[in-house]
């Protein structure tokens, strides 16, 4: 996983009211300039943006305040299951998941 021109988004779910503590935890763990942006989100969490996917994924295991980390892999509209399957088949999952045994949730 190398740096690319693509910007990756990682959403960290945080218990409401702890967003500022989670931000401080991030500042202690990493250089603040590492991210393109760190934004407080009104949906009880933080949205991190970076072009360095490996560092984003490595960061997850050191964080204590967030309760969940969600990586946005792609964003698209699919109006039926065959189109959804076609879109999902085009994603290079090896860039994100180092195993063949995984499940995903669609909403």
pLDDT at 2 over 80: no
Q: How many domains does the chain have?
A: 1
Residue 107 lies in a domain: no
pLDDT bracket for residue 87 (50, 70, 90): very high
Q: Dihedral, CA atoms, 17, 20, 22, 23, nearest 10 degrees?
A: 160
Determine the structural domain holding residue 55 and report its residue range. Answer: 8-76
Torsion, CA 25, CA 20, CA 32, CA 46, rounded to 10: 100
In this structure, what token pair is assigned to residue 42?
């009104």
- Structure confidence by residue, pLDDT tens digits, 67-86: 998 888 888 998 998 999 89
pLDDT digits (tens, 9 = 90+) for 3-26: 457 888 888 999 988 888 888 888
Q: Is there a domain that residue 106 lies in?
A: no
């Amino acid at each position: 996983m190398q740096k690319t021109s693509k910007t990756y988004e990682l959403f960290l779910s945080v218990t409401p009211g702890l967003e500022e503590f989670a931000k401080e935890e991030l500042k202690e763990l990493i250089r603040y300039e590492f991210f393109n942006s760190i934004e407080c989100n009104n949906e009880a969490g933080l949205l991190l943006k970076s072009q360095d996917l490996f560092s984003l994924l490595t960061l997850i295991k050191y964080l204590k305040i967030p309760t969940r980390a969600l990586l946005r892999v792609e964003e698209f509209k699919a109006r039926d299951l065959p189109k959804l399957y076609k879109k999902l088949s085009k994603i290079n999952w090896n860039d994100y998941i180092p195993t063949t045994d995984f499940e995903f949730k669609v909403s």
